[in-house]
Amino acid sequence: MPIPLGILAAAGFIAPSGGSYDLLSTTILTSNQASVTFASLGTYAADYQHLQIRTTCRIAASNAPMDIVLQFNGDTSSSYSLHLLVGTGSAVLSFAGINQTFIKGPCIASNSLAADGNFGAGVTDILDAFNSSKFTTTRSLTGKTETAAEIQLFSGSWRNTSSISSIRLFPEQATTLVTGSRFSLYGLRKV
């Protein structure tokens, strides 16, 4: 039973129902891995409108900072577009790209740049994932603390009207995701 909230209750306020997001799948790496794939997503199309991926991840490489990228339905063609806005604490950077082979998602911490145990974290929304009458769009809010600490806001588009059946996540440069990296897929139920 909801607890009255003073003026909100007097104005007819109704608290939103909890549990709109359902956990659909979680992968926690027990060894280093090149990528993570969520497959057979079409089974969720009847009940869910949007998907969300929540990550905490780190890479094994000691090279420059990078991000996790996404590809849908095994499509490796240049049918993706992206926009990004990055804040470093001392500068703001932006970028836009068309004809990309992926969409940017969460940023990840690097073994050589982040203290032991620090992981990058992020949330990526995949909007109208099962709508086959428009392109799929994404938005990500993500951040990491390391020698190149950043907070990032990304948006992307997959210029394809296919319903999402799989999502592959992997580092944008050749390296592996390390043990303990976590990837959770949530679904937002249809109204």
pLDDT at 188: 95
At residue 90, the 3 state secondary structure works out as: coil
Strand 136-144 to 92-100 pairing? unpaired
At residue 103, the 3 state secondary structure works out as: strand
CA distance 190 to 172: 32
178 neighbors 116 (Cβ within 8 angstroms): no
State the Rg of the chain over Cα.
18
Summarize the confidence of residues 37-49 as an average pLDDT. Answer: 96
Q: How confident is the model at residue 16 (pLDDT cuts 50, 70, 90)?
A: very low
Look up residue 9 and give its DSSP letter. Answer: H
What does the domain layout of the chain look like in residue ranges?
A: 20-189
pLDDT digit string (tens) for 119-175? 888 899 999 999 999 999 999 998 877 666 778 899 999 999 999 999 999 998 878
CA distance 29 to 125: 22
pTM: 0.84
